[in-house]
Chains A and B, each alone.
Chain A
Amino acid sequence: MDELLRDFLTETGENLDRVDEQLVRLEHEPNDAHILGNIFRLVHTIKGTCGFLELPRLEALTHAAETLMGKFRDGMPVTGEAVTLILTTIDRVKTILDELDRFGREPAGDDADVIRRLTATAGQRHQGSADRGSVASPEAAEQARIDKPGDETKKPLSHSIRVSVDTLDQLMTTVSELVLSRNQLLEIVRQQGDSEFNVPLQRLSNVTVQLQEGVMKTRMQPIGYAWQKLPRVVRDLSTELGKDIGLEMHGADTELDRQVLDLVKDPLTHLVRNCADHGIESPIERSAAGKSRRGTIRLSACHQGGYVIIEVADDGRGLDTAGINAKAVEMGLASEAELAAKPQAEINNLIFSPGFSTAARVTSVSGRGVGMDVVRSNIEQIGGTVDLKSVPGSGTVFTIRIPLTLAIVPALIVAVGEGRFAIPQLAILELVRVGGGAAHRIERLKDAPILRLRNKLVPLVHLKEVLRLGDGANEDGFVVITQVGNQVFGAIVDNVFHTEEIVIKPMSSRLRHIGIFSGTTILGDGSVILILDPNGVAQALGRAAQSESAVVFDSRSPEENFREDSVSLLIFRAGSHRQKAVPLSLVTRLEEIDCRRIEISDGRHLVQYRDQLMPLLHFETGNGVKTHGKQPILVFSDHGRSMGLVVDEIVDIVEHKLDIEVTGDRPDVLGYAVINGITTEIIDVGHFLPEAFEGWFRRRDLSASPSARGTRTILLVDDSAFFRDMLTPLIKASGYQVVAVGSAAEALAALKSDSQFDLVVTDLEMPDMDGFALTWAIKRVPSAAAVPVIGLAAMISPDTIERGRTVGLHRFVAKFDRSSLIAAIKENSAGIGRAA
C-alpha cells in the first residue's frame, strides 16, 4: 500500500478516537467553544486529507459532518440527536477506513442516507440561528485556533517518529534472544572461573541491559489509550439502556507495556459494559433507592510494585447474589449445601465460570453468556488476576492486577526439593536464612510455621509442601519474604542461587489452571524452569488456613462443638508482679522503642510511630513509662489507628485454652486463667482503647458481674477479626460458650449444621451479606428460626430500627457498648431453652 495512505489511515484512526471522546464531552458541555473548536479542526483535517488522496466517499461524509459542526460553532444548540448523528457518521467513516485498510481503496457504496440526515439537521434550524451565526462564524473559527496554538494537530513532529508496532515487537523478540544468549555466556564463564572473557562479557552485559531498557521504554504507553473508546461506549450504552451514566477516569497516564495494554483493552471494555448493563440501575430505581439519578462508573489505574492495578467500579446495585447462587446450582458448579458453606465473596467469583450469565433476558449489550470467563482467561493469559468485590445496593468493584511488562524481569532462582524455580525479584522484600546456626529459626504456632522477624510475626509457607515435592520437615534453608496486597508472608525454600534476567514465556494452556506459576523461562544453562507467582503462593497460604478451619468445622461432633479451642497467648509482665496474658491475635506487633522518642503532651505519653502519633498507655498499678533505655510495648491496631501498651517484659508465647476462671474485679482485667501452673491475668484490651482514643468507641463502665454459669452458647458473627477476638473473651467471661465466625455465610452454615445455639450476636455491617440479611435468612432456617438475634450497630437510627424490625431482629446494641451487650445477652438468652 501507498506509504501516504498508510500514514493517513494511522493518523485518522487516532483522530477519530479523539473525535469520539470529544463529542461525548461536548454533549455534556455544549457551550464549550474549545471542545467544539477541537472537533471541528479534527474533522476538517480528515476532510482535507481525503480530498488530497481522492477518497470521494470519505470526503463527502466528512464534508457534511463539518457543515453540521459549523452550525454548532455558529451557535446552533447541540442536541443529543445531533451528536448521535455525528457519531453515526463517524462510525460510517470508520467502516470505510477498515475496508480501505484491507483493500487499499474505498469500497463501492453510497452514503446518501447519512449525508441527507446531516444536511437536514444542519438546515432545519438554520433560520433560527442564522443572523447570530453569520456574524459569529469567522471569529469563532479564529478563536478556536487561537485558543490553543500548540495543539496536537499542529505540533511539530521533529521530536518523534512513527514506528510500526511490528518493528518494536520484532526488536523486543531480538532483545529477548540477546538476553538469553548473554545469560548462557555468563553461565559458561561462571563455570570456568577466571577467564579472559570476563571483561568483554561484562561490557556486553551492560550494553544488553541498556538496550533492553531502551526497547522496553519505547513500548510503554499510558493506559489512557486503552480507555479512549470508553466514553463513547458508555454514552451509547446510556442511550440504549435509558440510563444516566457518568464515566470517571483516574490515572490515565499510568504507563504499561503496549503488548499488555492491547491484551487488556477488550477485557476492560467488557467490564465497563457489564457495569453499565448489570450494575447501574435505571434512574427511577436509583431515585427509589435514595441514590442520585446519575450512576457513575469509575476507572482508575496505578502502579504497585511491578504491577498495574486497574479498577473498574460502579455505584450500582451490586451483584445479584441470589441469581448467582441459583445459576451456580443450575449449572452444577456447586450444591446448595456447598454454597451455604462458602463465603459469598467466593461464590461471586463463579461469575467468571464459562457460560455463566445471570441476566434474565439477553440484551444486546451483555448477558450473552460469553464474557466474564473470557475476561478472566484473557487477563490470566498475561499473568494477571481479576477479583471482584460487591456490596448489595452500593456497587461492584472489579480489580485487575497485571504485570507491567510481559517481557523480561529480574528473578531469584531458588531450589525446592529437586526442582529449581524463579521468583520475580519485584515481589521479594528480603531473604532470611533460617536454621543451621543462623540468627532466625522457624517456629510453630499450632501447626502453622511462623518466623519472628524484627518483632513481627510472619506466617510462612513450605513451598515443598505446597508444590508437593516432599514434606517440609527440613527447617534449614531460606525464607523468601514476600508481600501480596497487605499480606506479608514468607516462603520456605531449600536453597537460593543467583538472580537472573529472565524472559517470561507464557504458561502452557494445559498448566495454567495450577495457578501457582505465572510462566516459564529458559535459564542460561538451557533448562526450563517455572516462575512462581507470589499471588498464587499467597492463595496456597490462605487455602491451608481455610481448609484447616473448614475441617475443624465439619468434623466436630456436638460435644466437641463446645470444647474450647486453645488460643495463642502472649505472656508478659507489666504493672503488678502477676503474670499477664493477651490473645496473640489481638496484638499487631511487638516493638521496643527508645525512651528518648517518647513525648509527653497534655499528661499523655505519645510516640512517633509509622508517621502517626501513637498514644502509649500503661497499667494503673504499674511503674508507668520508663524514662531511659528501651521500652517494650505491645501495639494494637484497628482501622489504621494504633495504640501502644507499655509492658515491663515480654515473657513468652504459649498455646493455651482460654479458660477464664473468675471475672476480673479490675476494669483492665477480663479474668484469670491458670497458664502453665501460674495464675495469669487475662487483660482486657477493650479497656485501654477508649482511653487511647476518645471516640474509638463509646464505652460505659463495665460492671459485668459474674452470672450464674450456664451452658448457653452464643454464635458471634463479625467480619472484623479484631472485634471477634475482643468480644469472645468478654462474652465468655460472662459465663457463655462462644462460637465466633467471620461471615454471615459461615453463621448460616453453623446454624444449619447444629441447632444448639441459644442466641446470635451479629455485626450489622458486613460485606456481602450484612446482619439484616443474615437475620432474615436465619428466620427462614426452620431449626434456627426461634433463635433470638442481637444486632451490633455502629449507629442506631430510626431507619435501622425499622429495618431490624422488618427482618426480625430482637434487639439492637450500640457496637462496643459492652455492658449493654452483656445485659442484652442475659435478657434474651434467659427465657429460651435449648432448641434441641
Chain B
Amino acid sequence: MNDIADTTDYVTFNCSGQSFGLPIERVQDVFKPTKITPVPLADPEIAGVLNLRGRIVTAIDLATRLNLASRANSATAMAIGIEHRSESFGLLVDEVSEVLKLPESERESNPINLDHALSRVSAGVFRLDRELLIVLDVDRILAARERAPGEVTSSRDA
C-alpha cells in the first residue's frame, strides 16, 4: 500500500544494544576508525580526531553522547562518516548492520517516556519485527552540547 516514493533507505546500526537508523544520503561512508587522537579539554563525547584519507574527522562517541552504557569493547567499534556543514564527523558505534528500506508512513513520533537524551536527537521511531529503531537527527547530534549560561570554555570547571 505504500508507494516506492514514500520509502527511505536507512543505514542501521547498533550502539549499546539499541538500534539506530540514519537516512542513507546523510551517511558519507562507514569505516573502522584507527589511531584516534584524543583532544584534551574537549566535551566528553568527543572521542578525538583522526585521519581518514587526508581528511580530518572528529570522532563522536555516540554512547557517551546519548548517555547510554559505554561500549563494551572499543577496539571493535565502527564509525559512520557524516558531512555536516562541510566538516567531517565520525559517529562511533558498536556494529553497523544492513540498509533497510522503510516506508515513511510507518515512522512514528517519539514515545513520550523516551529517555530525554534520546528523544532530543530522535527524528522518530520505527517498529521493526524484533526491535525498535530510532531514527537519529544528525544535526542535533552534531550540535554543540547545550551549555549553561556563562559557561564559556570547558576549562572553567577546573
Taking Cβ atoms with an 8 Å cutoff, the residues of A that contact B are 177, 180, 332-334, 338, 419, 466-469, 505, 508-511, 513-517, 520, 522, 526-530, 540, 543, 547
Interface centre among B37, B43, B142 (most CB of A within 10 A): B37
* Least CB distance, A677 to chain B, in whole angstroms: 39
A326 → chain B, closest Cβ, in Å? 16
Q: Given the complex of chains A and B, what is the CA–CA distance between A338 and B38 in angstroms?
A: 34
Contact of B150 among A333, A505, A543 (CB under 8 A): A333
Q: Give B13-40 interface residues, CB cut-off 8 Å to A.
A: 35, 37-40
B87 and A527 contacting across the interface, CB-CB below 8 Å: no
Name the residue on B nearest A517 (C-beta).
B39
Decide if A522 touches B46 in the complex (CB within 8 Å). Answer: no
* 7 shortest interchain CB distances as A-B pairs: A467-B40, A508-B58, A528-B49, A332-B149, A528-B37, A514-B41, A528-B51
Given A467-B40, A527-B37, A530-B39, decide whether A515 and B153 contact each other with a Cβ distance below 8 A.
Answer: yes
B140 CB, min distance to chain A CBs, angstroms: 13
Query: Which B residue's beta carbon lies closest to that of A526?
Result: B51
Q: Do B35 and A527 touch across chains, with their CB atoms under 8 A apart?
A: yes
Q: Taking A508-B58, A520-B49, A526-B51 as contacts, is the C-beta distance between A513 and B154 under 8 angstroms?
A: yes
Question: B42 near A: Cβ within 8 Å?
Answer: yes
Q: A522-B51, A526-B51 are in contact. Are A508 and B37 (CB under 8 A)?
A: no
Distance, CA A522 to CA B95, complexed state (A) = 27
B40 and A528 form a contact (CB under 8 A): no
Contact between A510 and B51 (Cβ–Cβ < 8 Å)? no
Minimum Cβ distance to chain A for residue B32 (Å)? 15
A335 closest partner in B (C-beta) = B150
Q: Is the CB of B39 within 8 A of A514?
A: yes
**Closest residue of chain A to B40, judged by CB?**
A467
B132 within 8 A of A: no
A468 touches B40 (CB 8 A): yes
Q: Which residues of B pack against A, CB within 8 Å?
A: 35, 37-43, 46, 49-51, 54, 56, 58, 60, 85, 87, 89, 142, 144, 149-150, 152-155, 158
Q: Are B149 and A509 in contact (CB under 8 A)?
A: no
A514, closest chain B residue (CB): B41
Since A419-B40, A510-B43, A510-B60 are in contact, a sample of 16 more A-B pairs with Cβ atoms closer than 8 Å, ordered by chain A residue number, is A177-B54, A419-B37, A466-B155, A468-B40, A508-B49, A508-B58, A509-B144, A510-B58, A511-B58, A513-B144, A513-B152, A513-B153, A514-B154, A514-B155, A522-B51, A528-B56
Given A180-B54, A513-B152, A522-B56, are A508 and B87 neighbors across the interface (CB < 8 Å)?
Answer: yes
7 CB < 8 A contacts A-B: A332-B149, A333-B150, A468-B158, A511-B39, A511-B42, A514-B154, A527-B37
How far, in whole Å, are A653 and B134 apart by their CA atoms in the complex? 65
Residues of B within 8 A of A526 (CB): 35, 51
- B150 near A528 with CB under 8 A, answer no
**Which of B43, B46, B89, B155 lies at the interface centre, i.e. has the most chain A CB atoms within 10 A of its CB?**
B155
* Residues A509 and B37 in contact, CB atoms below 8 Å apart: no
Set of chain A residues within 8 Å of B42, measured between Cβ atoms: 510-511, 514
Which of chain B's residues have a CB closer than 8 A to the CB of A528?
35, 37, 49-51, 56
Shortest CB distance B33–A (Å): 11
Interface centre among A333, A338, A419, A509 (most CB of B within 10 A): A509
Closest A residue to B84 by beta carbon equals A509
Asked whether, in the complex, the Cβ of A510 is within 8 Å of the Cβ of B37, the reply is: no
**Closest chain B residue, CB of each to CB of A176:** B54
With the chains together, A453 CA to B75 CA distance in Å? 46
Q: Which residue of B lies closest to A331 (CB)?
A: B149
Q: Kindly state the separation between the CA atoms of A324 and B67 in the bound complex, as whole angstroms.
A: 38
- For the complex, give the distance between the alpha carbons of A527 and B149 in Å: 36
Total A-B residue contacts, Cβ distance less than 8 Å: 81
Cβ–Cβ < 8 Å partners of A527 in chain B: 35, 37, 51
Residues of A within 8 A of B158 (CB): 468, 547
Given A419-B40, A522-B56, A547-B158: A514 touches B144 (CB 8 Å cut-off):
no
Q: Whole-angstrom distance from the CB of B55 to the nearest CB of chain A?
A: 9
CB-nearest residue of chain A relative to B55? A505
Nearest-Cβ distance from residue A113 to partner chain B, whole angstroms: 42
**Could you say which residues of chain A place their CB within 8 Å of the CB of B85?**
509
Instruction: Give the one of B35, B41, B87 with max A CB within 10 A.
Output: B41
B149 surroundings in chain A (CB, below 8 A): 332-333
A334 to B149, CA, bound (A): 8
Q: How far is the CA of A517 from the CA of B38 in the complex (A)?
A: 13
A-side contacts of B150, CB under 8 Å: 332-334, 338
- Cα(A522)–Cα(B46), bound, Å: 18
The reply to whether B87 and A509 form a contact with Cβ atoms under 8 Å apart is: yes
Q: Which residues of A contact B43 (CB under 8 A)?
A: 510
User: Contact: A510 with B144, CB < 8 Å?
Assistant: yes
Please measure, in the bound complex, the distance between the C-alpha atom of A616 and the C-alpha atom of B61, giving whole angstroms. 64
Residues A467 and B41 in contact, CB atoms below 8 Å apart: yes
- Complex Cα distance A547/B158, Å? 10
Q: A418: shortest Cβ distance to chain B, in Å?
A: 8
A515 to B40, alpha carbons, bound, how many Å?
Answer: 11
Within 8 Å CB of A469, what residues of B? 40
Residues on the A chain within 8 Å of B87, using CB? 508-509
Complex Cα–Cα for A505 and B50 (A):
12
Q: Are B41 and A516 in contact (CB under 8 A)?
A: yes
A514 touches B153 (CB 8 A): yes
A177–B54 Cα gap in the complex (Å)? 9
Q: How far is the CA of A540 from the CA of B49 in the complex (A)?
A: 23
Chain A CB within 10 Å — which of B87, B144, B153 has the most? B153
Which B residues are CB-close (under 8 A) to A530? 37, 39-40, 49
- Chain A hits for B58, CB < 8 A: 508, 510-511
Bound-state Cα–Cα, A180 to B42, Å = 27
Bound state CA distance, A547 and B49, in angstroms? 30
Q: Are B144 and A505 in contact (CB-based, < 8 A)?
A: no
Q: Is the CB of B46 within 8 A of A511?
A: yes
Closest to A529 in B: B37
Q: Bound complex: CA of A580 vs CA of B132, how far in Å?
A: 80
Please indicate the chain B residues that have their CB under 8 angstroms from the CB of A505 in the complex: 56
Report Cα–Cα, A192/B81, bound state, in Å.
Answer: 35
Alpha-carbon distance between A18 and B38 when the two chains are bound, in angstroms: 50
Contacts of A513 in B (CB 8 A): 144, 152-154
Closest to A508 in B: B58
A505 to B153 alpha-carbon distance, docked (Å): 21
Question: In the assembled complex, how far is the CB of residue A787 from the closest CB belonging to chain B, in whole angstroms?
Answer: 31
Chain B residues within 8 Å of A332, by CB: 149-150
CB distance from A538 to the nearest CB of B (A): 13
CB distance from B49 to the nearest CB of A (A): 5
Q: Tell me which residues across on chain A come within 8 A of B54, comparing CB atoms.
A: 177, 180, 522
B60 contacts across to A, CB distance below 8 A: 510
Of A517, A529, A530, chain B has the most CB atoms within 10 Å of the CB of A530
* Chain A contacts for B144, CB-based, 8 A: 509-510, 513
CB distance from A539 to the nearest CB of B (A): 9
A332 to B54, CA, bound (A): 42
Among A332, A513, A543: residue with most chain B CB under 10 A: A513
Collect the chain A residues with CB atoms within 8 Å of residue B39's CB: 511, 514, 517, 530
A403 to B33, CA, bound (A): 32
Shortest distance between the CB of B106 and any CB in chain A (Å): 33
Which residues from chain B contact A514 at a C-beta distance below 8 Å?
Answer: 39-42, 153-155
A547 to B155, CA, bound (A): 11
Closest chain-B Cβ to A341's Cβ sits at a distance in Å of 13
CA distance A180 to B53 in the complex (A): 12
Q: Are A419 and B38 in contact (CB under 8 A)?
A: yes
Can you name the residue of chain A whose Cβ is closest to the Cβ of B142? A510
Contact yes or no, A508 B155, CB < 8 A: no
Task: Give CA–CA (A715, B54) in the complex, Å.
Answer: 59
Could you say which residues of chain A place their CB within 8 Å of the CB of B153? 513-515
Residues of B within 8 A of A510 (CB): 42-43, 46, 58, 60, 89, 142, 144
Residues of B within 8 A of A466 (CB): 155
Name the residue among B40, B43, B46, B150 with the largest chain A CB count within 10 angstroms. Answer: B40
How far, in angstroms, from A299 to B40 measured CA to CA in the complex? Answer: 38
Q: Which of B142, B154, B158 has the most CB of A within 10 A?
A: B158
Q: Once bound together, how far apart are the Cα atoms of A547 and B157, in whole Å?
A: 11
Q: How far is the CB of A719 from chain B (nearest CB, A)?
A: 24
